[in-house]
């Protein structure tokens, strides 16, 4: 896995609108920006870093969400959490005029958190609790409603329309070091909490009653896991915009490798997410040369078929 990640990083440095040689990469990593190739690499470095961070965060947050909701279809994008983060940021821009990057992130996390709770509440209404079907539907409905609200906020404000447009598709292109640094503490905190909650997720997987019987404080465990998931995907969305399906696909793939023990599954998901997003970013740069395909589109086109495959594989009763 780690090896794969290194390969992905290498590729991400090498390919782009312009291919560069190894010597240029090495030189650029030592800080030279004399040739065009070296400059290209210098701009690709933060981008690759961001892809790795965002991928890891999304993969991890997807894994935590799937464990938390005991639901194989949980994903920050599908559950509308990204849309919530986007709306919060847009409102912040349009009404409160926030510009500071940290405030951005706080707004996104707030939006993500509120949406996550709302979606889960809608899905758990009525008999039978939050089945995968209900959760996915509630997420889709919420996304639609939030997108309408976002459009309604933006429409009279021509001045921020361009800014918002880039929010509809997630990407890591054009990342700078200044953008990445403010999210680091949030991601780190999310990572720590997520890994701490792994053991609790193992118990939650057995059902609330059994977990209580085994001496776990279910409410606390849920809250912890939820905070971790929201921190991770909110912060990522604040920087990259909505990137869907990474959180869905990666934990499923990792379950094949690492089994269903969350203590192993979560770290694997983080690594897997980083690998997937980096590869997706490279792929997006390669197919549409000299333009690029945003990574959010690439992941949607990889993720949707996987999603449908998961749905088809499962028994009807389990939906």
User: 23 or 165, CB closer to another protein?
Assistant: 165
Minimum separation from the CB atom of position 38 to another protein (A): 29
Q: At what angle do helices 177-196 and 36-68 cross, to 10 degrees?
A: 30
DSSP string, 52-110: HHHHHHHHHHHHHHHHHTT-TT--TTTTTHHHHHHHHHHHIIIII----HHHHHHHHHH
User: 6 or 125, CB closer to another protein?
Assistant: 125
User: 69 or 142, CB closer to another protein?
Assistant: 142
Question: 217: which residues sit within 8 A by CB, 6+ positions away?
Answer: none
* Distance (Å, whole) CA 191 – CA 185: 10
Minimum separation from the CB atom of position 305 to another protein (A): 8
User: 256 or 291, CB closer to another protein?
Assistant: 291
Minimum separation from the CB atom of position 55 to another protein (A): 17
Minimum separation from the CB atom of position 93 to another protein (A): 17
User: 92 or 132, CB closer to another protein?
Assistant: 132
Minimum separation from the CB atom of position 31 to another protein (A): 33
Minimum separation from the CB atom of position 175 to another protein (A): 17
User: 142 or 202, CB closer to another protein?
Assistant: 142
Q: Report how far apart the first and last C-alpha atoms of the chain are (Å, whole number).
A: 32
DSSP string, 187-254: HHHHHHHHHHTHHHHHHHTT-HHHHHHTT--HHHHHHHHHHHHHHHHHHHHHHH----SHHHHHHHHH
Minimum separation from the CB atom of position 211 to another protein (A): 23
Q: Decide: helix, strand or coil at residue 166.
A: coil
Minimum separation from the CB atom of position 270 to another protein (A): 23
Q: Decide: helix, strand or coil at residue 167.
A: coil
Q: Decide: helix, strand or coil at residue 2.
A: helix
Q: What is the DSSP letter of 273?
A: H
Contact residues toward another protein (CB under 8 A) are 73, 77-78, 118, 121-122, 125-128, 132-134, 136-142, 144-149, 151-152, 155-156, 165-166, 168-169, 244-245, 291, 293-294, 296-297, 300-301, 303-304, 307-308, 311-312, 316, 319
| Spatial contact of 58 and 251, defined as CB atoms under 8 Å apart | no
User: 154 or 194, CB closer to another protein?
Assistant: 154
Half-sphere exposure of 69 (CA within 13 A, CB side): 30
The token duo for 176 is 């700078």
User: 145 or 160, CB closer to another protein?
Assistant: 145
Q: How many Cβ atoms sit within 10 Å of the Cβ of residue 166?
A: 13
Minimum separation from the CB atom of position 42 to another protein (A): 25
User: 267 or 303, CB closer to another protein?
Assistant: 303
**Burial degree of 66 (CB within 10 A; 0-12, 13-18, 19+):** buried
């Amino acid at each position: 896995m780690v090896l794969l990640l290194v390969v992905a990083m290498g590729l991400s440095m090498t390919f782009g609108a312009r291919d560069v040689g190894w010597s240029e990469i090495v030189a650029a990593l030592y800080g030279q920006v004399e040739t065009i190739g070296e400059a290209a690499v210098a701009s690709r470095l933060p981008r690759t870093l961001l892809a790795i961070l965002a991928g890891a965060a999304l993969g991890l947050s997807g894994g935590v969400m799937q464990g938390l909701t005991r639901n194989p279809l949980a994903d920050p994008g599908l559950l509308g959490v990204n849309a919530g983060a986007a709306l919060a940021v847009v409102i912040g821009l349009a009404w409160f005029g926030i510009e500071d990057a940290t405030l951005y992130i706080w707004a996104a996390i707030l939006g993500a958190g509120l949406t996550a709770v709302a979606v889960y509440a809608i899905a758990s209404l009525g008999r039978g609790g939050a089945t995968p079907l209900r959760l996915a539907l509630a997420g889709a409905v919420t996304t639609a409603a939030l997108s309408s609200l976002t459009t309604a906020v933006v429409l009279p404000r021509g001045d921020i329309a361009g800014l918002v447009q880039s929010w509809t598709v997630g990407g890591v292109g054009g990342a700078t070091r200044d953008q990445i640094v403010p999210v680091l503490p949030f991601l780190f905190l999310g990572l720590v909490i997520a890994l701490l909650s792994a053991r609790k997720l193992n118990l939650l997987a057995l059902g609330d009653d059994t977990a209580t019987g085994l001496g776990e404080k279910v409410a606390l465990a849920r809250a912890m896991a939820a905070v971790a998931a929201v921190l991770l995907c909110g912060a990522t969305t604040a920087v990259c915009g909505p990137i869907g399906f990474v959180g869905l696909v990666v934990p499923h793939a990792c379950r094949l490798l690492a089994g269903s023990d969350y203590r192993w599954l979560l770290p694997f998901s983080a690594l897997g997410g980083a690998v997937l997003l980096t590869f997706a970013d490279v792929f997006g740069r390669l197919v549409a040369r000299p333009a690029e395909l945003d990574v959010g589109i690439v992941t949607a086109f990889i993720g949707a078929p996987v999603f449908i495959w998961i749905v088809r594989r499962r028994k009807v009763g389990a939906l």
